Structures are given as C-alpha cells and as structure tokens.
Chain A
C-alpha cells in the first residue's frame, strides 16, 4: 500500500487524491480486460469487477469442492475446512434464518442468506489482503518493470480491491434482497395479498392516504440502507488506514526530510494503522453478519405478517 503511495507522489504528495484513487474503481478508459459494449452497457472488466469474479469463483469452488468431498467420504463427521463450514452454516440457519423466517420456509431461504454471507465475508476479507499491491511491489522491485510500461500488473495497481466497497456491488446485492422480499411475500400469501399486507388493516380510510406512501417509501428505503451501510463501512476503513499512512509522506514533505516522515511513521502511523486493520477484521465479519441478518429479517417480515 505504502509503496504505491510512494510511487504516486514522486513530485508532490496529495493525500486526498491518493486515497480516492485507492478506494475507487479503476477507470473505464483503461480497463483490465477490454470487452465489447452490448445494449449500451460497457462490459469491460475493471478492478472491482475482476475481484468480484475472483471472489465468486473462489467461494463457489471452495464450498462445492469441500461439500462434494464430504458427501463422498464414509465417516459422517466432517473435518478441517468442512467442519468450520458446517459450523457457520448451522449457526446462520439456526440463529439468523430460523427465528426470522420461520420453520415453514426455512430451507427455501437459507441458501440465499448463506450465499450472501459467504460472498460478502470473502469479498470484504479480500480488501484486507493487499494482493495486487504485493504483486505490484514484486513487479517493480524484483522484476524491474517501470511504472509507465503497459503491462498486466501495472493496470491492476493503485486501488483498493474491496469489491463490496463499491456502491454498485452492494446495490446489486440489496436488489437481490428487495426482489426476494417480494417473492417471499408472494409465495406465502399470494401476489395481491403481499401488497395488501404492507399496510396494517383496520384504520379509517383517510389514514391510508398517508400510510400507503409512507409504506412504499419504507419499502424502498430498506435496500438503500443495506447498500449504503455495507459500502460505506468497507470504504471507510480503507480511507482511515490510508489517511493514517499518509502522515508519513505529509510530514516528510512538510519538513523536507525523510527522517521526519519515518519518525512519524514509526511512532504514530504504523501502530495506528495496525490497530485500525485489526478493527477492520471485526468490521468485515460484523458487516457480513448484519447484511445477512437484515436480509433475513426483511424476508421474514414479508412472510410472518402480524396484524
């Protein structure tokens, strides 16, 4: 991370610019893989899209492979990775999905909630591992590739790789939740009744003129809250770490000596950044947990309507 910062601020260091460049997606003008435009949508792969695919592939292969292996073995007791997987699956099924969704639709909605959890936790976790930055450091320092050369790893550099820190990704996930709420309500009560269930019955009709718009807004606000919370939390942690690390370069620029920067780095920046990184480990778990729990609560609210 700091290497990329160093490489960027060769003449004058601009902390804001560096931070924004690190947490935002790579630009569409220089995509990692160029793909054609279909129906007016540019399908070119940027950094966040690349990570999205890597995470999906990783989660899919790891889970499918270990479950297949477990099903083939003779002993009913799982070991190693499968053991951990089973514990998480059971925990999510029994303490997130069951109390919210109920026994009747438990098995229809557990797979979706589990997919959410494993995908989000892996994508969040990848943001903490500076894969591309380490590759870039090897590229620059050992393979001696210049920063301006057109090369695959160079296109990956300068940027956070938390796919869930991108609002478009979390909006996509929240859209899945939004559609699931409608499907869950329609399956449990029928399509028309689901919409009728949104407003509590038994009030005088003038009240409904107020209640119906409020309910519709509330329905749209829920996925919005999901979107913003996850993306803002993932971006926020990275901004905090980068801002703290920027002190090194700001101070060395301020006093025109590398020693001042290194001193601030040793005394303040590195310990603080380590602390924030440790906090981030908790945050990635909590945010994945909250997203799955809220999805389960919303789906459950559409199924178990109490009036």
Chain B
C-alpha cells in the first residue's frame, strides 16, 4: 500500500498517490515514451523498407536479365547498407 503511494514515474515526476490521476499520468507517460520512440521507429521501418525495396528490385532485374542470383544479393546488401545508415544517423543525432 505504502509502496504504491510512493511510486513516482521517473522523468516526469508525477506522483501516483492520487488514485484518480493514475490513468491520466500513465497516459502522459505513454505519450512521453511514444514521443521519444518516433525517430527510432522511423529508422527501423526505413531499414526493413530498404531491404525489401532494393532486394525486390534486384530480384526483378534478375528475372528480367536472367542473371540469378547476383542482382538479388547485391540489392539485399545495398538495402542493408542503406537501412543501417538510416539507423546510424538516428544514433549519431542522439549522441551529439
């Protein structure tokens, strides 16, 4: 009981002592986490997108030119490079 009353959400300093405010404060905390996760989410989606797009383009070129599997492999590799570069940019930005 006392532990629950003393619980404080880190970072925003909202006390959960007030039972009525519990929902509001958890919602605010969720909002804060979501706000912080925005750039990370965009980078991760970009990474998956890069691998699928460039790998897919490689696959199509392979089918068209009958050069299996070289363009597919190249496309996947390029997709990984582009995807990791986007993630690296987010990390660099946060470290500065």
Contacts and interface: CB of A to CB of B under 8 A. Distances in A.
Interface of A: 91, 95-96, 99-100, 200, 214-215, 217-218, 220-222, 224-226, 228-229, 290, 293-294, 296-298, 301, 306
Interface string B37-61: 0110110011011101110000000
B78 to A, nearest CB: 7
15 contacts: A95-B31, A95-B34, A95-B35, A96-B38, A99-B35, A100-B38, A200-B89, A217-B54, A224-B49, A225-B46, A225-B48, A225-B50, A290-B45, A296-B38, A297-B41
B33 to A, nearest CB: 11
A217 B42 contact: no
Contacts, number: 67
Contacts of B83: 221
B53 A224 contact: yes
A228 B49 contact: yes
Pick from A218, A229, A293 the residue with the most CB of B within 10 Å: A218
Contacts of A297: 38-39, 41-42
B4 interface: no
Pick from A215, A225, A297 the residue with the most CB of B within 10 Å: A225
Given A217-B78, A218-B86, A228-B49, A293 B41 contact: yes
What 6 pairs across the A-B complex have the smallest Cβ distances?
A225-B49, A221-B50, A297-B42, A225-B45, A224-B53, A217-B82
B62 to A, nearest CB: 18
B10 interface: no
B41 A214 contact: no
Which secondary structure characterizes the binding site on chain A? helix
Given A95-B35, A306-B93, A294 B85 contact: no
B24 interface: no
Nearest to A306: B93
Given A228-B52, A294-B45, A221 B35 contact: no
A217 B49 contact: no
Which secondary structure characterizes the binding site on chain B? helix
Contacts of B46: 218, 221-222, 225
Given A95-B31, A225-B45, A306-B93, A217 B50 contact: yes
B79 to A, nearest CB: 8
Interface of B: 31, 34-35, 38-39, 41-42, 45-46, 48-50, 52-54, 78, 81-83, 85-86, 89, 93, 96
Given A221-B86, A222-B46, A297-B39, 17 more contacts: A100-B38, A215-B85, A218-B46, A218-B50, A218-B86, A221-B50, A221-B53, A225-B46, A225-B49, A225-B50, A229-B49, A290-B45, A293-B34, A293-B38, A294-B45, A301-B42, A306-B93
Contacts of A226: 45, 49
Contacts of A290: 41, 45
B92 to A, nearest CB: 8
A99 B34 CA distance: 11
Nearest to B45: A225
A110 to B, nearest CB: 16
Contacts of A100: 38
A220 B46 CA distance: 10
A214 B38 contact: no
B38 to A, nearest CB: 5
Contacts of B48: 225
Contacts of A229: 45, 49
Given A214-B81, A217-B78, A297-B42, A222 B35 contact: no
